[in-house]
Amino acid sequence: MKARAFEGWWVGQYSENDAATLRGAGYPRLLASLLCSRGLVNPYIVREFMREDLELLHDPFLMKDMDRAVSRINRAVAAGEKVAVYGDYDVDGLTSTALMTDYIRSLGLSCTAYIPERLTEGYGMSEEALKQIRAGGVTLIITVDCGITSFEQIRAARRMGMDVVVTDHHECLGPLPEACAVVDPRRLDCPYPFKGLAGVGVAFKLVCAMEGPAKTEEIVARYGELAAMGTIADVMPVVDENRAIIRRGIEVLHGAGRLGLNRLLNELGLSREKLSSSDISFSVVPKLNAAGRMGRVRTAFELLMSEDEREADALAKTLCDMNIERREVENRVFSEALEMLSGSGRVSSPIVLASDNWHHGVSGIVASRLAERFGVPAVVICLEGDGGRGSCRSFGNFNIFMALNYCRDVLDSFGGHALAAGLTLKRDAVDEFRGKLTEYYNFTEGDFFQMKLPVDFCVDDPSMLTLRDIEGLKAMEPWGSGNPPPSMCMRDVNVEAVTPIGGDRHVKLRVSRGGRSFECVFFSVSAKELGVHAGATVDLAFEPGINEYRGTRSVQLLLKDVRASRCGDEPTLELARRFFAGAAMLPVENAMLLPERGEFAKVWNNIIQRSRRFLEPFDELLPDIALHTGIASLGRIYVCLRVFDELGLINLREFEENMDIHIPRVEKKADLNDSLILQKLR
């Protein structure tokens, strides 16, 4: 069975009266229900939320130091100075660099773009790069998506005779660098009303400030797709002016757009006219990111800047080939990591793996895959010489940044946030780091941070899931952080067929409820991992979608999780409750509750694939175990759990309607014959 990503669901609710009000205002019923489940119940508030007009864009001069940045760039224009744009290797940095470089050149200035390579230089400014830039005669550097913490580097630039204008969007809780201007909405003293801009959003606002409000439409037409792509790639909140930036930027892509991006879309087989924010996030962004991950970031930048059709076609193909290479390297590293873990049994503490043969460009992706698969934080370290660089990913609500802070004595450096971080350390400190990280994890009960799947609401009436209703959800797009794609569930659904697809890497289900049938697809889960067979009754969590195939459009549910339906008054479960309450039992009733040895093994194998500690509703956990073990008797499953608790294999607590199961870190051997429960049942 696939390692569980979610220990239960958080299912929202809404008032039918509120939904009726929105339907009365003209909103389709499925959309009205979704809006209400997210607290948008007033038609006026809904209209404001769905705005996409450029009036949403705030005055750029509300941003601290924007006037100083504009003044310094205008001085450069008047004096004909040489300018450099210093960016970053991720997609936000790439789009920021392309936008600012193109704009500075449009002012008639000589402008060079500098993007550090991930593998050899790392993130941020470096003195060596500054020396190269100064050798080219540059007197003004404009940073994009970086610079807010480059204190020493900016001082070095000044000593070399270069001014620096910083544009960034990262946190700056302390002092600011000594630059001509520091434009960052997250400055503590910045009154700008929206703090959620991406790096490319800040660069876009600088161009808006340079050109004035009369030119906003023209700027959006010229740079909107770059601003939208960087904002989506950096997972910025899709609210306030980001909503306008993304919506209008995608409209630019629907039209002519930049040549390089058009050629990339063609190479990917994506329709420019139907492109969505999801297409950008899952198809376009990984290809652009591949260049940075594989140490050839200039390829992606040149594509964004290309004005030659043949060159753009070649670059687009190279990026796609590079992404294939990245995927192959990633899969190799992931497979080798799994081999390292193959002899460790159940993983119940943070994963820390290191190798001399791993590619740093994919370490973060591999760490994410390990964390998701095993349900614990993961650190993947690429060793080179006497040291190593690691990428860290959390799981659940475990704060990986605080954990690294606990381990700081054995690290050379670290940085990041609660869910993802990076570190450097000495080669001979890996084992000590693993020990300290595990110590912190054990101390904080780090694995008792259960991942709950957020579900907007339960669809009680399947007739809501029509093509027209699902089309109506598009009014809430673009989806993203702060406005996630719709997540719904249906309970007590009958599984009619289970079909492996994509070489058994994915699975398709046909289900029915209330006289309506639906096709479902569960990506990256095989039929075996799903463990559900035709005839089962399950609950589904899904994103409603529309499948288009050979001109035919149909409703398709994109599955996020499948679990057994809640149990009712299953006869053997009632017997088990009576037995453990001390009631008198008939021999035939005891026989119905006595598990076979093979059933003990199935239940044990099921629970150890979950978190080391988990809390689930009684009437969800037992049916879920039954679904994946094939044991029809919930009473015998309950007896198995009580026996495991009696023998010290697990710690089981029952309270209210929940079961709290804690599997000790040190597994012990036990003999079922020692169980007093089983002796009594026999």
What pLDDT, on a 0 to 100 scale, did the predictor assign at position 343?
Answer: 59
CA–CA gap between residue 637 and residue 633 (Å, rounded): 7
Residue 161: count of CB within 10 angstroms of its CB: 9
Q: What type of residue is 180?
A: C
**108, 195: one domain:** yes
Residue 267 in any domain: the answer is: no
CA–CA gap between residue 456 and residue 454 (Å, rounded): 7
**548, 461: one domain:** yes
Residue 374 in any domain: the answer is: yes
**165, 63: one domain:** yes
The contacts of residue 332 (CB under 8 Å, 6+ apart) are none
Express the helix, strand and coil content of the chain in percent, nearest 5 each.
45, 20, 35
**583, 659: one domain:** yes
Give 5 or 648, the one with higher predicted confidence. 648
**Domain final residue pick, 564, 583, 614:** 564
Query: Which two tokens mark 182?
Result: 């520091």
Name the helix (H) or strand (E) containing 372: helix 363-374
- Res 6 pLDDT > 60: no
CA dist list (Å): 570 to 586, 603, 633: 18, 18, 8
- Res 451 pLDDT > 80: no
Residue 41 in any domain: the answer is: no
User: pLDDT-derived band of residue 395, with 50, 70 and 90 as boundaries?
Assistant: confident
**Domain final residue pick, 257, 276, 307:** 257
Lowest mean pLDDT among 140-144, 187-191, 396-400: 396-400
What pLDDT, on a 0 to 100 scale, did the predictor assign at position 616?
Answer: 81
CA–CA gap between residue 629 and residue 641 (Å, rounded): 14
CA–CA gap between residue 36 and residue 471 (Å, rounded): 18
Domain of 674, CATH number, reads 1.10.10.10
Lowest mean pLDDT among 229-243, 427-441, 569-583, 604-618: 604-618
What pLDDT, on a 0 to 100 scale, did the predictor assign at position 53?
Answer: 86
Residue 321 in any domain: the answer is: no
Lowest mean pLDDT among 141-145, 507-511, 669-673: 669-673
Mean pLDDT over 154-182 rounds to: 92
- Res 553 pLDDT > 50: yes
- Res 396 pLDDT > 80: no
Q: Distance from CA of residue 547 to its chain's centroid?
A: 24
Nearest C-alpha neighbor of 522 from the set 2, 167, 13 = 2
Tell me the chain's radius of gyration from C-alpha atoms: 28
Nearest C-alpha neighbor of 179 from the set 200, 201, 155 = 155
Q: Strand 378-384 and strand 351-355: pairing? A: parallel
Domain that holds residue 108: 55-257
User: pLDDT-derived band of residue 453, with 50, 70 and 90 as boundaries?
Assistant: confident
**591, 655: one domain:** yes
User: pLDDT-derived band of residue 468, with 50, 70 and 90 as boundaries?
Assistant: very high
**508, 589: one domain:** no
Helix (H, G, I), strand (E, B) or coil at 115: coil
Query: Which two tokens mark 51?
Result: 């705005």
Query: Which two tokens mark 523?
Result: 């990506």
Residues 64/183, Cβ–Cβ less than 8 Å: yes
User: pLDDT-derived band of residue 2, with 50, 70 and 90 as boundaries?
Assistant: very low
Q: For the chain, first and last CA: distance in Å?
A: 31
**485, 634: one domain:** no
- Res 334 pLDDT > 70: yes
CA dist list (Å): 167 to 125, 181, 319, 536, 657: 13, 8, 28, 56, 53
The contacts of residue 159 (CB under 8 Å, 6+ apart) are none
Domain of 553, CATH number, reads 2.40.50.460
- Res 449 pLDDT > 70: no
Query: Which two tokens mark 541?
Result: 């969590």
The number of domains in the chain is: 4
Residue 464 in any domain: the answer is: yes
Q: What type of residue is 450?
A: Q
Domain of 199, CATH number, reads 3.90.1640.30
CA–CA gap between residue 369 and residue 347 (Å, rounded): 14
What pLDDT, on a 0 to 100 scale, did the predictor assign at position 1?
Answer: 36
User: pLDDT-derived band of residue 447, with 50, 70 and 90 as boundaries?
Assistant: very low
Query: To 10 degrees, the CA torsion angle through 630, 634, 640, 646?
Result: 160
Give 212 or 414, the one with higher predicted confidence. 212
CA–CA gap between residue 491 and residue 513 (Å, rounded): 9
**Domain final residue pick, 257, 276, 306:** 257
**430, 497: one domain:** no
Cα 316–Cα 321–Cα 327 angle in degrees, nearest 5: 130
DSSP for 432-458, written as a single string? HHHHHHHHHHHHTTTT----PEEESEE
- Res 4 pLDDT > 50: no
Mean pLDDT over 510-530 rounds to: 91
**506, 425: one domain:** no
Query: To 10 degrees, the CA torsion angle through 194, 196, 198, 200?
Result: -10
Beta bridge partners of 85: 113, 142
Residues 204/245, Cβ–Cβ less than 8 Å: yes
Query: Which two tokens mark 476?
Result: 């809430």
Chain-wide mean pLDDT for the chain? 90
- Which residue's structure tokens are 């038609």? 43
Residues 490/539, Cβ–Cβ less than 8 Å: yes
Residues 344/308, Cβ–Cβ less than 8 Å: no
CA–CA gap between residue 261 and residue 12 (Å, rounded): 39
pLDDT by residue (tens digit) across 81-132? 999 999 998 899 999 999 999 999 999 999 999 999 877 777 778 999 999 9
pLDDT by residue (tens digit) across 637-663? 999 999 999 999 988 988 877 888 888
- Which residue's structure tokens are 């035939």? 588
Residue 1 in any domain: the answer is: no
In percent, the amount of the chain with pLDDT more than 70 equals 96
Residue 488 in any domain: the answer is: yes
Beta bridge partners of 193: none
Domain of 407, CATH number, reads 3.10.310.30
Residue 310 in any domain: the answer is: no
**577, 610: one domain:** yes
Q: Strand 537-549 and strand 488-501: pairing? A: antiparallel
**71, 208: one domain:** yes
CA–CA gap between residue 21 and residue 14 (Å, rounded): 12
Query: Which two tokens mark 123?
Result: 């993130």
**110, 218: one domain:** yes
**H helices then E strands: how many in the chain?**
26, 21
CA–CA gap between residue 5 and residue 668 (Å, rounded): 26
pLDDT by residue (tens digit) across 47-67? 998 888 898 999 999 999 999
